[in-house]
Amino acid sequence: MATYDTLNAQQYEAVTTTEGALLIIAGAGSGKTRVLTHRTAYLIEEKGINPYNIMAITFTNKAASEMRERIDNMVGFGAESIWVTTFHSTCVRILRRFADHIGFDTSFTIYDADDQKQVMKEVCKRLEIDTKIYKEKMFLNVISSAKDNLTDPTEFALNATGDYARQRQAQVYREYQAVLKKNNAMDFDDLIMKTVELFKSDVEVLDYYQERFKYIMVDEYQDTNTAQFELIRLLAGKYGNLCVVGDDDQSIYKFRGANIRNILNFEQYFPQAKVIKLEQNYRSTQNILDAANSVIAHNVGRKQKVLWTDQAAGEKIHFKQFDTAYDEAEYVAADIEKQVRAGGSYSDSAVLYRTNAQSRMFEERFIAENIPYKLVGGVNFYARKEIKDILAYLKTIDNAKDDLAVKRIINIPKRGIGATTINKVQTYADGNEMSFYDAAKIADEIPTVGRSAAKIAPFVTFIQTMRSKANFLSVPELIQNIIQDTGYVRELEAENTPEADARVENIDELISKAVTYEESTEVPTLSGFLEEVALVADIDEVVEGSEYVVLMTLHSAKGLEFPNVYLAGLEDGLFPSYMTITSDNADEEMEEERRLCYVGITRAMKRLTITSAKMRMVRGETMYSKVSRFVSEIPVDLLSGTVATGKSIPRPSQTEKTSPYVNAAKQILREKPIVKVPVKAFSTNATDQMTLSYREGDRVHHIKFGEGTVTQIIAGGRDYEVTVDFDRFGTKKMFASFAKLKKV
């Protein structure tokens, strides 16, 4: 039995409001998962609702697993009947039963990002598109966005009338979908879109699931896109018992298609909806919350709320500004060591940053200082070549209609089957409207293939043998059979290199994953294993309680919490980004960046350090920046720490002396002052041909950076080197001939 007396007043109201539409605005750390689990228990224990009629849906496997565990512990008997799952897993489950109603085989394959790229390469080649001009990734992004908004190829083509670029995109979209359909495959966006299509085209199927899910709860609602919203709207259409939980201030996935209007306009979509705000925070100290409240209050498009806690005020926010990003990383490394020496743990700390590129400096320092760390959001385990190869074998065994998987491994390990032979088989398959594998099975009957058919036959025999074994072998045994019979691991071991050893260890880890799947699944199947692998997200890689510092982008950090957080690179031009500041839609983009900052601040439980650098290398160029505007939005009385000025670069160790970054930093920040040369004294062969319309101290305008003040003009031999302190972008150095500055 669940106990409800530990809930605060707002949480209790959210738990006991069970009928109709309900919007729970759950501030960071306000116990939203607790509310959802208690609400589930309340529906069953107090309202007598059959667990079979309840659905709880979220985004990541990690969140779903946590919710499933809590519900199982609280509800006990009958909890297994509740669907606690992710959006994609939900749709896979539905489509596995009814995909044949919309023209797919129910054993369809799920294509990941690499599979999609491969299909797109084929499509562009077939349509004779120059991928040096029109990138495959661009087409994939356009298609993904279209699917997020439930726009099919036909509607997309209609909307593209009169626009050549869009018409070309429509052509690619249509062909891309045709390839997926032929391969009996769906990409991630299809899983949602095709389920919506199923519901809209088949009233009986929709009614079945509406009757099944009379009470629906959606977590992280602010992250839903248009397709997900429509999916939920359809499911809840009959009974209207829809409870959504989210925080508009943590809507940071617009680039993935998230539509913040879903949560901001919830009451417009559901006029009778009740709104409850959870503002009591159980994670952070009051000073951290006050800083977060102060920053997010500058956003206009939000629902008003103020986070508070009954904890003590805690430490002030530590703010440090450094001369260089090298200094920043060195300080963070030293401070983490200081915290550990004081009795803390490496796993207490996380370094959060705006862009993946920022991790390099921290990685170098952590390696130099022997600080254990984990980079989250790097190369995904399942994207590594050896893992993709083994999975392609499994996909081929499971669904031989998947042309992409078959072609990936038909010559891995090498069987002497070249690209020419593969293309001939593909051409025959296309001409006879059959799968690549079916054509490969009769390769000896394809005139153009000739003697190469003898090389294809052993591969087909192997796959057929493995398909027959799949009926009685477990997934780990299948993998073992594959690597044994193909000699895949033997080839790696023969290389006798650390890289090959690491790849063998990765395959071992895949086998471990398969064993875990078998042990934790009631009815394990090869299809089920491939689905689980396909649905893994980066955030699921974080292992709680592990002894290492976590390095990750702010986007990856959402949903996590750490006692000690370093928010790095708080500079205008980096965070908020330069693209945000100069965007045509700058106000809206800036609000999303500010929400990202809010997410970063609220990851900290007890201690928050914000750092910035006056100078850092970006794309090989030195960038000078002002402290981020977000820092200035935090009241001064909440901050502690001094701004570093005139600090010389620390002497690098032997391993660091050759660092281009350190050498550049030393050059720019050398103690010897720069000798200023008046413009009128210039008489070099290039500069004496130039006449500047401005002098030091003048106000000038730059086409991208706007207005600023000229602080220095130096003879450069070929050009004038002009330093300008821009009002919005901080200090920039540039050559006059390129800058084209105009005096204001």
The residues that are catalytic are: 32-33, 219-220, 250, 603
Which residue type is seen at 576?
P
d(CA 240, CA 237): 6
Strand, coil or helix: 132: coil
Residue count of the chain: 744
Tokens of 581: 């500041």
Can the peptide bond before residue 476 be classed as cis, meaning omega within 30 degrees of 0? no
* Contact (CB, 8 A) for 308 and 56: no
What would the DSSP string read from start to end of 294-348?
HHHTT-SSS-----B-SS---SPEEEEEEEEHHHHHHHHHHHHHHHHHTT--GGG
Tokens of 361: 């400096």
d(CA 301, CA 298): 9
d(CA 15, CA 26): 13
For residue 603, give the nearest of 630, 563, 647 by alpha carbon.
Answer: 563
Q: Give the DSSP letter of residue 676.
A: P
- H or E, element range at 739: helix 736-739
CA 559 to chain centre: 13
CB atoms under 10 Å from CB of 683, counted, come to 8
For residue 607, give the nearest of 318, 244, 210, 238 by alpha carbon.
Answer: 318
Angular region, 421: left φ>0, alpha ψ -120 to 50, beta rest: alpha
d(CA 453, CA 456): 5
388 contacts: CB under 8 Å, gap ≥ 6: 114, 382, 408
Percentages helix, strand, coil for the chain (3-state, rounded to 5) are 50, 15, 35
Beta pairing class for 109-111 and 185-187:
parallel
Tokens of 318: 């530590």
Q: Give the DSSP letter of residue 658.
A: T
Tokens 């977590």 appear where?
Answer: 219
468 contacts: CB under 8 Å, gap ≥ 6: none
* Contact (CB, 8 A) for 213 and 237: no
Long-range residue pairs from 468-473, CB within 8 A, at least 24 positions apart, any chain? 470/397, 470/398, 470/526
Strand, coil or helix: 382: helix
683 contacts: CB under 8 Å, gap ≥ 6: none
What would the DSSP string read from start to end of 252-263?
--GGGT--THHH
Beta pairing class for 349-353 and 562-567:
parallel
Q: Give the DSSP letter of residue 42.
A: H
* Contact (CB, 8 A) for 382 and 531: no
d(CA 331, CA 350): 14
User: What residues does 627 pair with on adjacent strands?
Assistant: 571
Tokens 């849906």 appear where?
Answer: 57
* Contact (CB, 8 A) for 28 and 252: no
d(CA 562, CA 560): 7
Which residue type is seen at 714?
I
Tokens 């690491």 appear where?
Answer: 502
